[in-house]
Amino acid sequence: MERDLIRESAQAGRVVLWEESARDGAQAKTVMSEDFRVQLALAQGRMFGADGPRHVVFAAGFPAVCAEEFEAVRRVAVEAEGAVSVAAVCRGRSADVRQAVLSVRGSAHARIMVVVPASEPMARVMTRQSASEALGSALSLLEVARDADDAVAVDLCFADASRADHDLMAARAGELTAAGAGTILLADTVGAQLPSEAREMYTRVAAGAGPDTVLGTHQHNDLGLGLANTVEALRTGARVVSASWLGLAERSGLPATEQLLLLLAHDPARAAVLLGTDAPAWWTAPDLTALPRLAGAVAEHTEHPLTVTMPVVGTGVGTISTGTPFVDPQLFQPYDPQRVLGTAPRVLLTHLANTRVVHAVAERLGHRLDEAQARTATTWAKATVYRTGRAVVEDEAFAAYLDGLRETTK
């Protein structure tokens, strides 16, 4: 079997991103074309330079869905080879495991992730077995994958781990690791965990499984805590973290890739505090200026538009519309969007504007106003907002008003 770069990275304390937008993102009622999956995998790998395969596992899809999905996964495995580590995801069934291996085999650093239930209720629904029996069956599935192609790394996802017995998961994770499993992802499948519960789960499973076991996260966001729970897992030493562009995934989604990468890379000193170690988080730190572009491409392709309040890549990032932030923009931001992301600041005209904001927008549109004109324009802008019911006065409308103002004040 070839070197497992993902295990090596995690055991060296480096962060590995398990990218789910093409796979779990489908459950957010989206579908990515073959072309786009390849393009996204290549671009995401390039964020880390030559270390893309060490830092990104790109879950290309779920081959068992249909022939078209199998071909999409296969194409990513072939064409994104060397940019990322490509993975196929499958159920805990022998036929599905063999199919998943077939979809990625021959690709450098190829992986599959086998989903097995960890809690009693999930095991009954998925396999009609007890949790112990279902997790125990993963050992035989590991052998099935090995027999199909022992060059393909095998990861396990413990579904509904947040409601499962910690000691049972620890014992099975240790056994699977000893048998050759790559990583073990613990899934809060229903998104019900609180941060303190996530921290306890990862701490106890890691202690019981032993130091050779590499744990990863899959934290759903139904209570809005997916990112916070992932942070807690990182604090315990987990280094493989699931995320999805724009947070796209089943129901309320997963932690957003762009948010997680910014959090862990924009300020190395703060990241060290978060991770609890001075060891570097990256072999090659990600190029964060790619985040807005890639998030925008995902939004356009999946028809999930970027919103004003979306962190990191939303349309409100870097915008100023009130007087005090206009005086000192950095006082009101946790990072500099232009320096970190390449997102240029923009001053917007709204009903909250003062004359400083009006002057700035007018100058951007090629107009210089005296103080009386600025006061008049400010009054007009506020009245326009309330008349139209739209918070932002568009540049075209303001430019037309300023042209008329200049004529009337000559």
Q: Which domains does the chain have, with CATH numbers?
A: 5-302 (3.20.20.70), 318-410 (no CATH)
Per-residue pLDDT, averaged over 163-179, amounts to 98
Asked which of 39-48, 78-87, 239-248, 354-363 is least confident by mean pLDDT, the reply is 354-363
pLDDT tens per residue, range 41-53: 999 999 999 999 9
Could you tell me the two tokens for 142?
A: 């590991």
With a cut of 80, say whether residue 407 has pLDDT above it.
no
Residues in the chain: 410
Per-residue pLDDT, averaged over 290-314, amounts to 97
3-state SS assignment for residue 368: coil
Cα(216)–Cα(254) distance, rounded to whole angstroms?
14
What percent of the chain lies above the pLDDT cut of 70?
99
Q: Which pTM value belongs to this model?
A: 0.94
Could you tell me the two tokens for 163?
A: 């409601």
Could you tell me the two tokens for 235?
A: 């604090």
| 226-235 and 257-265 helices, crossing angle to 10° | 40
3-state SS assignment for residue 346: strand
Banded pLDDT at 330 (limits 50, 70, 90): confident
pLDDT tens per residue, range 118-137: 999 999 999 999 999 999 99
Cα(89)–Cα(126) distance, rounded to whole angstroms?
16
Distance of CA 36 to the CA centre of its chain: 17
- Per the DSSP assignment, residues forming a β-bridge with 158 are 116, 186
